[in-house]
Structure 1
Amino acid sequence: MTSSQPAQPVTFSVLDLASITMGSTPAVSLQHSLDLARHAEKWGYHRFWLAEHHNMPGIASSATSVVIGHIAAGTSTIRVGSGGIMLPNHAPLVIAEQFGTLESLFPNRIDLGLGRAPGSDQAASRVLRRGLGAGGEDFPALLSELRSYFNPPEASINTAVRAIPGEGLNIPIWLLGSSGFSAQLAAQLGLPFAFASHFAPDYLLPALELYRTGFRPSEALDKPHVMVGVGIIAADTEQEAKRHATSQQQAFLNMIRGRFGQLPPPVESMDGLWSPHEEAALLKQFSYSVVGNPEQVKTKLQAIINETGADELIMASQIFDHSARLRSYEIISEVREQLSR
């Protein structure tokens, strides 16, 4: 940031984890996702993304393409997409057909964000036929195959297999990552890059440096475009925000203890629930997360923008109470115009 740069509103988007709260159901979670998307559209958010996870009792977005269709059908202007589809879990042709169908149904509103992690545990990976040895090394080849299915008809008319719907459609492809691998690949291919700093903060700045310094302009993009993931819990008071944050803290604590379940209700204090070592690990994990009242949220988001130079921020607000989650995103939208890059 320099003083000579004109102030510009920062693009804000939503990453919905489709959390299933304790005692609730996937059906309720998906209803809440649509309600959140409709509010996000009204509040001026640019994108609404969902992520592929498997074998997780607390997440309802395993059939990610289906949920994207559900959200897109219930909204009218907000872009809807994947943050992301875990490409090694799928035949590239299937993803091309799914997103070709979505783009045909909802023109100029669909994003295809891609990751190379399994989005699951070893048992689910085996069922998904990744194989226990699959580490994402084949991701560049899978990506190349997937992109070929979107070529214009004249380029694919003599090929044995074509994606219909899919071919000839201009669906923005994003690479997602939490390390340098996808950052370098996105740079080489001239694609936009999204970093998962909301759960993997340590390598954020080195990955952005790799991406920006190695970027090669392409037909898709003439200059680097960075999206940074931010875990955020906003409320009208700091005390209220900290209380809501304990749901996410408990969920992470359960995860590092090897217990996966639904999102728990908040508690008044985490004291006695975690050890000092666990507390330190959790605070480090959420170093790019924001918890606070509107003024604190504004200050912390501006600091992240200044540090990363992000073109977009995508917000994950994991809160037990749906009305409180809506209020969190409303507060975030209210501070957006006060921020600049």
Structure 2
Amino acid sequence: MQFIKSSIAYSFASYSKNFINKNFSYLCIEPNKYDEKFSLQELKEIYESLTIDEKYKVETIYWELCKKQDSRIDGLFYGKNHLFENLKFTIRSLHRCNHLNDLENNNNELIKIEFTNRFKRNKTTNSTQYYSLGEKIGKDYEMGQIGYVNGMGNSIGWAGTDASKISESMVEGMNLHCVYLPSYQISPDDYSPSPNDTIGFCMDTIRHLTINGGEFSKTSILIAQLWIDYLFDNPNKSFLQICASDGGTFVTNAIKIIIKYSPNLLSRISFLYLAPGCILIPNDFNNNNNDNDNIEILKSKQVLNFIKLEDTLISKFATGANHLNNSKSMENIIIVPHINKNDHPHNFLNNDYINSVLPFIKNWKETGKLIL
């Protein structure tokens, strides 16, 4: 089954790479390079020298940075209207659009990554973006921040509700620093998942296969940048990344970006996958390390996948489901007992999952590692 899925994924990725329009984003692996090096007047002069399209991109990055810090901000023109209120973010926005590097003729810290343009099925479809739990701003563990990426078929409202439930049930009400994974499925009320949108489900599935086949996505770039920004600005902190269902596909994609461009940060990130569409096993990365076979890129104590065998969507069809039959992989897989028979086994928010996850969250909170 995994061989067939891998072949299909590679075919979709090859088609996407050769025939689908691409956009690009800069990944900044040295986010503070220009912090405090420009005056307000200098920044305004640089901004005014840009074209309308260039200004729009700068404003969008500024909006992303502000929304990452406080998800309560809103409005199509937030970046335009508030661009010079936070000069640190102004500098980083101009930097990430490559408008500062010519001054030193050195842009090694900016990595241009192509991704496939996302088709919008209707006007209300939200784009991938940062958000957090506004009512919990400032509530983070001493060990570091916790992130969350939602699964397939979620509106941003539904994803936020799930994030709030995870916060209350698994991490003692701490804030979650999230990246929204948009869906092609159209919600009937702009909130609830659609139970009957077959076209949208198929489009989400094709995207899943394309990412598994090797393409990158804007969501994955945002996830990687989230880790880089936090860990770079907080050198003594760690990061716990939680993801659910197909969110695991995009977190795994982001790990590939980090391994390639900022591997020194990886040891400070732990990964907790709930009913994942892509099962994360460290040896899969370590065995593919062509530079030095003796280096553990991703350590076993950093990774846990929580899966119910009764959840056949995952146990049979997830990328990496073959690991469930490999005893060497089981140190990174927790089989969750399906005690509540009246609940769907893919529901990662019920007590079966909560009770399985809590001891490992406690480990991370105290040591920075999921497995002691």
Same fold (TM over 0.5): no
The two structures have a TM-score, normalised by structure 1, of: 0.31
The two structures have a TM-score, normalised by structure 2, of: 0.29
Which structure's residues are more often helix, by fraction? 2
Which of structures 1 and 2 has the larger relative contact order (alpha carbons within 8 angstroms, sep 6+)? 1
